[in-house]
Amino acid sequence: MQLFPLVIGAVSLASVSASLAPAVFSSLLRRQEPGTPQYDCHSNCGNVIVAGRTEGYCDTANFTTSLDACLGCALEFDIWQYYGDSVSEAATGCGLDATPVPANATDTDTVTATSNSSGPESTSVTETASPSSSTESSTSSSSSS
């Protein structure tokens, strides 16, 4: 008699798993369409993780190229939540920053933020990244005037 609840539980679990399978597989198939930007982004982030498990990966062009590509697309395709910890671990193991580029950033924004990091033009970029640092910047700017 004690076997009956176990069998019922197993059958119930199997039916729930089977009903979830189409939704899960459909999302996997959608993101894995070769040649799409989403596919390439998943591939690049995955390549970073795989490379991070091999000795001497920091000095390989494949790692640095994949890392740059992953950081450039992971937020746009909302996959940083899946890859972020492992990609960050691989990057910091090489002393590299693993901050993904915001999805709405353009190449111009990225270049401006990098080239003007000490000028007042970067204040809006700084405010987005860290409110406390922008307060310090504006305080020091005000006191020096």
Q: What is the pLDDT at residue 114?
A: 35
Both tokens of residue 46?
């995955």
Residues of the chain with pLDDT under 70: 1-32, 106-145
- Report whether 79 contacts 42 (CB < 8 A): yes
- Report whether 67 contacts 96 (CB < 8 A): yes
The model's pTM is: 0.54
Both tokens of residue 125?
């970029």
Q: What is the pLDDT at residue 33?
A: 80
- In whole angstroms, give the CA distance from residue 140 to residue 144: 6
Other residues' Cβ atoms within 10 Å of the Cβ of residue 88: 19
Q: What is the pLDDT at residue 103?
A: 82
Q: What is the pLDDT at residue 67?
A: 98
- Report whether 109 contacts 125 (CB < 8 A): yes
